[in-house]
Amino acid sequence: MQTRPLGRSGLSVPPIMLGGNVFGWTVDEAASFRLLDRAVELGLTFIDTADVYSRWVPGHRGGESETILGRWLQRSGKRAQVTLATKVGMELGDGAKGLSASYIERAAEASLQRLQTDHIDLYQSHRDDPDAPLTETLSAYAKLIAAGKVRIIGASNYSGARLREALEISRREGLPAYQTLQPHYNLVERRTYEHDLAPMAAEYKLGVIPYFALAAGFLTGKYRSAADVQGKARAGAVGKYLNERGLSVLRALEEVAEEARSTPARAALAWLLAKPDISAPIASATREEHLLDLAAAAQLKLSPEAVAKLDRASA
């Protein structure tokens, strides 16, 4: 699988990023190992997780995904083949959250232990922390980078204004700068990224790695009614798209997929990859056929007419 530059970070990555939120949630450890082995075979070696995955599951405390990834890395010996991304900042209980220097130091060590590795390729602020001065957060990352524990840093769930402020502080004070942006962006979630964040990504040449690239599975076409999502793990995330606009986008997506002799999932990812500012959309897989879809999406080139059709349908 061909790679592409991750913004100006110096890293070159596959054009699809494998989401690790499912490991230990909707996919158990044994199945996760099989999926990860197959992902590497297919060239899907850019993997995203977070320390908070999957705290939302009853009985979980967070760190489950990182733990499974770490056990797989140890068992498989494939650490050198993988570009590993994780995140810090979300609530883990008992006041464990945020982007203060002391918390980042503790959280990074905990993630490294769970992941059974000596470094994180991409360490991301999972969400902005208004209580932590940006200079303090960036200085904490500077120490981790100097120690060889982190290669580059990224931001997720920041507003455009706060992202610009952080990037200007890095420039002015000689601190490490966010090299990537992980926004919520897909065919049915366009406004926030395109109006508030895309100008920032272009100006500062950030690598953009959108999460929920398939809208929690809605853009695969398997959810068309409330009955389809009832009892599903992502019912809440998908249900909000079951309206006339969402179904109209889905119809256009299916038409484009049919014309391209592909699938809706592949076409939805290919639409993102057709955008010049997107480095690698993030999508999860719970079965091998999902991985095959992701790998095929990386090879699918939509025509300008197909991209324009999807632009219009999802405007």
Give the burial string for 222-232 (b: 16+ CB within 10 Å, else e).
Answer: ebeeeeebeeb
Contacts of 142 (CB under 8 A, 6+ apart): 175, 176
**Strand 282-283, strand 17-19: pairing:** parallel
Give the burial string for 282-314 (b: 16+ CB within 10 Å, else e).
Answer: bbbbbeeebbebbbbbbebebeeebbebbeebb
Tell which residue, 315, 277, 294, 233, has the closest CA to residue 16. Answer: 294
Q: Report residue 66 as tokens.
A: 């990182």
Whether the CB-CB separation of 294 and 214 falls below 8 Å is answered with: no
Contacts of 34 (CB under 8 A, 6+ apart): 288
**Per-residue CA distances from 142 to 103, 126, 138, 313 (Å):** 14, 17, 6, 43
Examine the residue annotation and report whether 53 is marked as an active-site residue of this protein.
yes
**3-state class (DSSP) for residue 208:** strand
Contacts of 228 (CB under 8 A, 6+ apart): 222
**Strand 282-283, strand 207-208: pairing:** unpaired
Whether the CB-CB separation of 248 and 313 falls below 8 Å is answered with: yes
Contacts of 104 (CB under 8 A, 6+ apart): 88, 137, 140, 141, 144
Whether the CB-CB separation of 93 and 61 falls below 8 Å is answered with: yes
Count of H-run helices and E-run strands, the chain: 13, 10
Q: Which residues are catalytic?
A: 53
